Amino acid sequence: MAIPLVPKLLRAHLAELAAEDMRHDGRGRFESRDVELEIDCLTRAEGSARVRMGDTIVFAGVKFQIMTPYPDRPNQGGLMCSAEVRPVAGRQWEPGPPSPQSIELGRVVDRGIRESGCINTEDLCIIPGEKAWQVILDLFAVSDDGNLFDAFALAAIAALKSATIPAERFEAGEDMPLEVSKTPIMCSYHKVGGRFVYDADRREELGGDERIHITLGDDDHVHSLQKGLKGIFTAAEFAEIMNEARSRCAELRDLVDKAIEGE
């Protein structure tokens, strides 16, 4: 990823707005952009979702493979999550092997899903020690106008929840839905002009400082946290955004449930 120039004027302007508790696009501090969620949008994937947040657009696709279980866990399948932000998604994303930024994206989303325990890897076992399902979740950015993290995480869980194990194609029984028992949701906060805001767009990311990603499970349990970029924050600031994250995660969870039920 090319490191773009940060205009001093932009930082000063964002700070000026922050002092008046405003944002450059007129949103409130913890207000999100419009969110669209669509499932089953990729014909060749066994589960898929498309998320649009403002001008940020991402896809998530689920594929299955048969794997040999690891010797130390003979009755467990596997889950793999990878994010690739290809240069299609923005001027700043360059071709070449996955950048540290896109690897971080994939790993943070992966942790939230894995640690929530929403997929029981023992359910993925076909023959202990010999055959098990490997769930592969690929995250793909079409347009990056900021906050790829939340868009990816939302698309990821929706794609998993809509996935069908293609057992007939692999001659391993009948097709069946993938069991996903929980709905982990990520909320990201970016420090812009000295205070945290929710769902920062590209301009706020460019002129902002550190970001914090919080993934919460169904019962408000914390499943993954990540602080990224240069910056210092206080315990009080964290307590504030954690509190905000609880209500926002619940809203987004409803959105996912509705999309899956409406299937």
Kindly list the residues in this chain that would bind other proteins in the complex (CB under 8 A): 5-10, 12-13, 16-17, 20, 22, 24, 26, 42-45, 48, 55, 57, 59, 61-63, 65, 82, 84, 86-91, 95, 97-98, 136, 138, 140, 142-145, 169, 202
CB of 195 to other proteins, least distance (A): 16
Question: Which residue, 60 or 187, has its beta carbon nearer to other proteins?
Answer: 60
Whole-angstrom CA distances from 193 to 4, 110, 123, 154, 237 are 18, 30, 47, 27, 14
**CA torsion angle 29 30 31 34 (round to 10):** 130
Give the shortest CB-257-to-other proteins separation in angstroms.
23
Identity of the residue, 61 or 77, whose beta carbon is nearer to other proteins in the bound complex: 61
**Nearest approach, Cβ of residue 43 and other proteins (Å):** 5
Q: What SS3 class is residue 206? A: helix
Alpha helices (H) in the chain, listed in sequence order? 8-19, 100-116, 148-161, 202-206, 235-261
Q: What are the tokens at 1?
A: 């990823």
Specify the residue, 45 or 252, whose C-beta has the smaller distance to other proteins: 45
In whole angstroms, the minimum distance from the beta carbon of 8 to other proteins comes to: 4
Q: Which is nearer to other proteins, 85 or 216 (CB)?
A: 85
Residue identified by tokens 């910056």 is 231
Give the Cα separation of 74 and 125 in Å (integer).
8
Q: Which is nearer to other proteins, 73 or 86 (CB)?
A: 86
d(CA 198, CA 190): 6
137 burial via Cβ count (<10 Å: 0-12, 13-18, 19+): buried
Least CB distance to other proteins at residue 164 (A): 14
Q: Tokens for 138?
A: 């690929």
Q: Which is nearer to other proteins, 145 or 204 (CB)?
A: 145
Least gap, CB of 249 to other proteins (angstroms): 26
Q: What is the DSSP string of 142-172?
A: EE-SS-HHHHHHHHHHHHHHT-EE-TTTTTS
Nearest approach, Cβ of 42 to other proteins (angstroms)?
6
CA atoms of 127 and 68, how far apart (whole Å) = 9
Which lies closer to other proteins via its Cβ, residue 32 or residue 82? 82
